[in-house]
Amino acid sequence: MSPMRDLLSFPDGFLWGTATSSHQVEGDNCYNQWWKFEQLPGAIWRGDRSGLACDWWRNAEQDFDRMQALHLNAHRLSLEWSRIEPEPGRIDHRALDRYRAMLGGLRDRGIKPMVALHHFTNPRWFERAGGWEWAEAAPRFQAYVRAAVKALGDLCDFWLTMNEPIVYVMQGWVQGVWPPQKRNLAAARRVWRHLLLGHAAAYQIIHALQPHAQVGYTHAFHAFRGRSSRRPIHRYVAGVRDYFIDRLWLLCTVDGRLRPPLGLGEFHPTLAQSFDFVGINYYTSKIVQFSPNPRLLFGADYHPPVAEYSDRGRNGPYSLFYPYGLYGHCMELSALGKPLYITENGLPDANDDLRPRWLLAHLYQIHRAIRAGCDVRGYFYWTLVDNFEWHEGWGLRFGLFALDPQTQARAARPSAALYGAIAAANALTPAMVDAYDPASAGVYFGDHPDTYQWLRVV
């Protein structure tokens, strides 16, 4: 074997996992605002409902066995606030017992849990009081976090306060396609501020209860680019989106200052350095062209006709294949001096046509970043089994395993075997690439003359 065909090994102890969220997999969860939203005509693509979802509330363990069979050593899941606190101030210890069983089941299988405390869903009582627009939202969230961590902290010391808070704000209060279906920029600003303060409150209480815990959040990054380098207006609106969507939340949690439009720079000491690691959710690059619509931050998504895409969602192509964006984000975020975890990465691909190469390409870019000095410690693929994809319903299939929601039957896609082999080897190997992406083998092992050409940069 030539030097160009050596293994691309990952660091010892690297976490190989999958990611899920409670409402998308547990099933029969009628206590939160999303269940109520699903009942509205036209709210969910094709009229879908979550129903049993992946039936995890009754039988998550069958999928934990699948993780173990794939040699995975980590899993990212979330707690359902509305199950734990179905009424204000009333903690349901039966729900906590079920989560204890889940976390214990993962640990018994050698799988390290990473637990998110908020993943887009809220108790219906919280929504009636005003949700994240409510002035008491942050302290109410902190009280729930305290109860959850006190009950489960002996089984987990790896926490995420929130998942993709800016996606939550944009979809619910700017685009208005998720509950509460508002298009109100003043309310969006208020929610954004309260989410930041809720995150800071959660971070502080977790560390008060577990001083040595690792606590962070996940943030969606998009590698924004202007449609044309020859049109400055496209580059400018890409930069506007980059600031508001990719950077503003992160900057506030670095130095504790609320920048415009969230504030005038006022300092919140509990917010400063309120993360122990960076959770990177990366799916795709967004190519942006100018739009006069302020609700779109003056930039509309542009989909080049000659490009490689995942399956289509209800509003068009879901993901553009651009793995180089993940490398760029890792390199930039490494400057923060914190460990990095890829907390979500995946694509909807029902036929599994692109997923194997997607895995190889994105993991290759992570390996490049590690070689360049980035402290990347884990990768969580979204997701193990097809799940209920919010307002896209069952129309997008992200799973390593295909799921029939009616029968709950699972079937492994070819990419499941590939991901299991990668996790078992803790490496990308020539055999994997020859089997799943032979045309690109030279890129992964260093002898391709033009990496950028292979990455199909638009």
Taking only the tens place, the pLDDT of each residue in 77-93 is 999 999 999 999 999 99
List, in sequence order, every residue forming a beta bridge with 340; answer none if it has no partner: 278, 376
Rg of the chain taking only CA atoms, in angstroms = 21
Q: Which residues of 230-260 are buried (b: 16+ CB within 10 A; e: fewer)?
A: eeeebbebbeebbebbbbbbbebbbebbbee
Best CA proximity match to 96, nearest among 107, 85, 88, 87: 85
Cα angle, residue 356 at apex, residues 226 and 65 outer, rounded to 5°:
120
In the chain (458 residues long), the average pLDDT of successive 10-residue segments reads 69 98 97 97 97 98 98 98 98 98 98 98 98 98 98 98 98 96 96 98 98 98 88 90 96 97 96 98 94 78 88 91 95 98 98 96 96 98 98 98 98 98 97 89 66 39
Taking only the tens place, the pLDDT of each residue in 337-368 is 999 999 999 999 999 999 999 999 999 999 99
- Predicted local distance difference test score (pLDDT) of residue 448: 53
**Cα-Cα-Cα-Cα dihedral sign, residues 115, 337, 257, 150:** positive
Best CA proximity match to 84, nearest among 13, 41, 22: 22
- Tell me the whole-structure pTM to 2 decimals: 0.96
User: Which domains are present in the chain?
Assistant: 14-411 (3.20.20.80)
- Predicted local distance difference test score (pLDDT) of residue 231: 81
Residues 6+ apart with CB under 8 A from 11: 370, 377
Contacts 24+ apart (CB under 8 A), 57-62: 57/26, 57/27, 57/28, 57/29, 57/98, 58/27, 60/25, 60/26, 60/102, 60/105, 61/105
